[in-house]
Homo-oligomer: A and B are copies of this chain.
Amino acid sequence: MKLKEAHYEFIHLWGNFGSQWGINKTMAQVHALLLVSEDAMSTDDIMDALSISRGGANMNVRELMTWNLIYKVSKLGDRKEFFEAEKDMWEVSKRITRERKRREIEPLMHHLVRLKRVDKNEKGAESFTKMLGDIERLVDRVDKVSDTLMRAEENAFFGSIIRLLK
């Protein structure tokens, strides 16, 4: 298979995978495009490569920047902005995790805590609050473990724990 073909397939794969996980398909494709691109790309390059509008390219590029997955770079003697992706996939995974946690998990947890303040004397209140507590504990545990996973490379102690699991 030719490299260009493989790039093309990867971009579509990443787009579909992203959309199954609640990430806008085009945003995932722009990300994939920049991941496989050797050089930084301008908005026009991206529009051209993915056949999307200027508005779409701009929107998705900016959204990817708020996720810290791509950076703005400037080319000497060119007025345009260029973009390049963070290429360290470990770092990519950390940033996606961090961002989803901040945007989605934390608000969810906040609501769960609030719902636990239901009238305790009603029949059924106990099993309901137990369930809320279980969800909290579960999310918290996943959170702790993913933190650890993310720190594994930077920390010999946690790294050795992770290696135990191989």
Contacts and interface: CB of A to CB of B under 8 A. Distances in A.
A13 B111 contact: yes
Contacts of A93: 138, 142
Nearest to A89: B134
25 contacts: A2-B118, A6-B115, A9-B111, A17-B108, A20-B22, A20-B104, A21-B22, A21-B104, A36-B128, A36-B131, A38-B124, A88-B134, A89-B131, A89-B134, A90-B134, A90-B138, A93-B138, A141-B149, A142-B149, A144-B165, A145-B145, A145-B146, A145-B165, A147-B165, A161-B164
Interface of A: 1-3, 5-7, 9-10, 13, 17, 19-22, 35-36, 38, 87-90, 93, 104, 108, 111-112, 115, 117-119, 122, 124-125, 127-128, 131-132, 134-135, 138, 141-142, 144-149, 161-162, 164-166
